[in-house]
Amino acid sequence: MSEVSNSTETAVDPPERLIKMIRCVGPGLIVAGSIVGSGELIATTKAGAEAGISLLWLILLGCVIKVFTQIELGRYTLISGKTTLAALDLVPGPRVAGRGNWLVWFWIVMWVASISQLGGIVGGVGQALAISVPLTSSGRLYNAHADRQQRQVFEAATRTVLAEEADAALEASVVPKPIAAPPKSYDAVLWAAVMAIVTSVMLIVGRYGLIQSLSTALVILFTILTVLNTVWLQSDPFWGIPWSEVAAGLWPQLPEVASSDAASTARPIATALAAFGIIGVGAGELVVYPYWCLEKGYARFTGPNDGTPAWNARAAGWMRVMHLDSWGAMVLYTFATVAFYLLGVGVLHRIGLNPEKDTLVRTLSVMYQPVFGTAAAMIFLIGAFAVLYSTFFVALAAHARVFSDAMRIVGLIDNDEATREKWIRWLGGGFPILCWVIYVAFPAPAQLVLISGVTQGVMLPMLAGAALYFRYQFVSEPLRPSRLWDAMLWLSAAAMLITGIWTIVSQF
């Protein structure tokens, strides 16, 4: 898939009416479905739990600013028919003859972290299933202990907040009593193995349309439920975040580390920067998006670049479709991102809970408890399974496509369609098992997700620089964007550069 073979027979005039343009969108929605599980559900809520409302501005910036780079990378793919990695291989800089340049090789480094992130995702899927459907007696005992402990922590933390508001001297009387550690359970590992095997089979045989459609529908429903949960939470005088605080969170500022024991090891700035790398369209999604555009047919419909007025008109028309696709998806995942962040702030941060390790999913379910009460756990578990598994499934399908392309570029496989299709199936079958092995070796889903966020944050300025290179080297006069667009593209690149540098400094 390094290059699309365009022909006049496949050229299609772009739709002009909005309703017909909407029917042609899709790549952005696929990408949106793959990011809700890791960026929004895990990284964003963890950032809210650690940082409070003070970094709301950074979360919003992370959703909006990267779309300009996304569309610019898509523009070059549309006019050239090249895949992202084939395009990145054209960027000047160090290279190994016949084995790719520095950007291709850094993408491989980022891929290692990204596949580890999916290890964290399949671990989260395993946790959700282990809580709702335990496989062993030790799993049932573990759930009983963990549920009792979580309930006590939640109730004690709630009483503490009330006591602090009424009389700070009462705080010492509501400290929760310690509960003995629950027995060790491997149900999450077993369920993760089951889902990895199922995913492997589906990606090999390719019969996964129904599962993907159902998963996407559940993601949409869970996102709507999360937004409604956030709205209802805001109407509660105890749990609602004052609008003055929300407004303050929109002003650039840095957080203070909470003094509670639960948050004493938190690194809110580092967590937020890691979240910035993967919320919205992270570096991984920026690379993947043009591949989905190619499969949707945008470049093929545009036809061969012969420089004629007819070609320019078709290219401009399909660019409008790509804009609608990208910005429409941005609106959807921004609503989800802000909702998850506010839930992390309003509930987890307030009572001092930090989602991590084997309590990740159970802790996240607390965000729904003030509104849904005893039904919160089951509602959240169904939704968490949907969004986490959707991310796992779609991301692995994308990884198989991009990695097979990388193998071609570095000279490991032949450059023909049959070989690429074969490797997509093989990699699709092998990657889920690899993710499970990573989770077993390092059973800390939130940390695996954040590690990927760090590497993606470092690659963001590289991709922004590549987008600027394509914009000024390969875009002909009829397709050049406005000066305002160029200014926003430069602003996007500057924000990604600052974030990349800040990420390196904060981590190392």
Task: Give the CATH number for residue 118.
Answer: 1.10.4160.10
Is residue 179, in this structure, part of any structural domain at all?
Answer: no
The mean of the pLDDT values for the chain is: 82
Phi, psi of 8 (to 5 degrees): -65, -25
For range 393-405, the mean pLDDT: 90
Is residue 82, in this structure, part of any structural domain at all?
Answer: yes
The lowest-confidence range among 136-145, 244-253, 396-405 is 136-145
Is residue 143, in this structure, part of any structural domain at all?
Answer: yes
Asked whether the predicted pLDDT for residue 261 surpasses 50, the reply is: no
Strand partners, 414: none
What is the distance in angstroms between the CA of the first residue and the CA of the last residue of the chain?
37
Asked whether the predicted pLDDT for residue 153 surpasses 70, the reply is: no
**Confidence at 323, pLDDT banded by 50, 70, 90:** very high
DSSP string, 165-234: HH-GGGGGGGPPPP-PPPPP--HHHHHHHHHHHHHHHHHHH---HHHHHHHHHHHHHHHHHHHHHHHHHH
Q: In the 3-class helix/strand/coil scheme, how is 54-88 assigned residue by residue?
A: HHHHHHHHHHHCCHHHHHHHHHHHHHHCECHHHHH
Is residue 493, in this structure, part of any structural domain at all?
Answer: yes
Quick one: pLDDT at residue 214? 62
| Percent residues over pLDDT 70 in the chain | 84
Phi, psi of 101 (to 5 degrees): -100, -175
Phi, psi of 95 (to 5 degrees): -150, 160
Neighbours of 228 (CB within 10 A): 12
Is residue 170, in this structure, part of any structural domain at all?
Answer: no
Q: Where are the alpha helices (DSSP H) in 346-482?
A: 350-351, 360-364, 369-372, 376-409, 417-441, 445-474
Quick one: pLDDT at residue 6? 47
For range 342-370, the mean pLDDT: 79
Q: In angstroms, rounded to a whole number, what is the distance separating the alpha carbons of residues 251 and 248?
A: 6
Which of the two residues, 505 and 298, has the higher pLDDT score? 298
Q: Which of the residue ranges 210-214, 367-371, 463-467 has the most confident prediction, judged by mean pLDDT?
A: 463-467
Quick one: pLDDT at residue 183? 63
Is residue 149, in this structure, part of any structural domain at all?
Answer: yes
Rg (CA), the chain: 23
Asked whether the predicted pLDDT for residue 167 surpasses 80, the reply is: no
Which of the two residues, 30 and 200, has the higher pLDDT score? 200
Quick one: pLDDT at residue 89? 95
Q: Report angle CA 261, 265, 270 to the nearest 5 degrees.
A: 140
Q: In angstroms, rounded to a whole number, what is the distance separating the alpha carbons of residues 233 and 240?
A: 5
479's tokens: 């397709």
Which of the two residues, 6 and 315, has the higher pLDDT score? 315
Asked whether the predicted pLDDT for residue 196 surpasses 90, the reply is: yes
Q: Supply the range of the domain harboring residue 36.
A: 18-163+189-257+265-506
Quick one: pLDDT at residue 212? 57
Instruction: Say which residues have a Cβ less than 8 Å from residue 246's Cβ, sequence separation at least 6.
Output: 53, 56, 342
Is residue 389, in this structure, part of any structural domain at all?
Answer: yes
Which of the two residues, 420 and 192, has the higher pLDDT score? 192
Asked whether the predicted pLDDT for residue 108 surpasses 70, the reply is: yes
Quick one: pLDDT at residue 451? 80
The total domain count for the chain is 1
| Beta carbons of 258 and 266 less than 8 angstroms apart | yes
Give the residue among 372, 190, 351 at the shortest CA–CA distance from 363. 351
Is residue 178, in this structure, part of any structural domain at all?
Answer: no
Neighbours of 325 (CB within 10 A): 28
Four-residue CA torsion sign, 146, 152, 153, 158: positive
Q: Which of the residue ranges 167-171, 278-282, 451-455 has the most confident prediction, judged by mean pLDDT?
A: 451-455
